[in-house]
Structure 1
């Protein structure tokens, strides 16, 4: 698991970067979901086998659905953590006189 510190809520650049990364993850999750659901429907409609092959196909399809569920669960947990951590409004533009803060020891979910 990659350990990243949470963005500093007082840094405009870090807040914008965290929001952009979350938006990118949502877009990729939507694309992944659409492709996976299309593939599942195509396999179910076009499959005409039986026996061991039917069991193998059902296992693969269930794994695809579990992957979709896990993707969205992780994305929703990350979104909740991001909304709880970051301010609603963007901070003012960073000033050169502001002292550097040490990085947070909290982990990103």
Structure 2
């Protein structure tokens, strides 16, 4: 599996490129997931065999579902890391700080 490195947070160009690449990966994952699910359903519905062939199909289908799961786990982790590395540029006026961890003396 290819590692996706995080961009430098102070480089606007790198952040835009990273967000674009992440969006592309999400689109590809959606298409990949749809094709894999279609193939799994077609294989299950059309297979009229038992024995060794049925076991082989079950192994291949489970591997396909594991590939889909791994793809989405990778995308979600990369998205979380990308959101975590983005600088906080939102408005802070009118927002009360979280004081639940403060101790009064």
Q: Sort the TM-score into its range (normalised by shorter chain).
A: 0.7 to 0.9
TM-score, with structure 1 as normaliser = 0.75
Per the alignment, residue 10 of structure 1 pairs with 10
- Once structures 1 and 2 are overlaid, which stretch shifts more, 46-55 or 2-11? 2-11
Structure 2: how far apart are the matches of 1:12 and 1:18?
A: 10
Unpaired stretches in structure 1, ≥5 consecutive residues: 90-109
Seen in structure 2, the aligned counterparts of structure 1 residues 44 and 25 have a Cα distance that, compared at 3 Å, is same
CA displacement at 1:71 relative to structure 2: 0.5
Supply the distance in 1 between the matched residues of 2:31 and 2:38 (Cα, whole angstroms). Answer: 11
Higher relative CO (CA 8 A, sep ≥ 6), structure 1 or 2?
1
Cα RMSD (Å) of the superposition? 1.6
Q: 1:5-62, CA deviations, whole angstroms, 9 ceiling, x for partnerless residues?
A: 5212122111100100100000000000000000000001100011111111100110
Structure 1 runs of 4+ with >4 Å offset: 1-5
Structure 2's unaligned 5+ residue stretches are 90-105
Q: Which has the larger radius of gyration?
A: 2
Deviations 1:45-88 (A, max 9, x none): 10001111111110011001100100001111111111101225
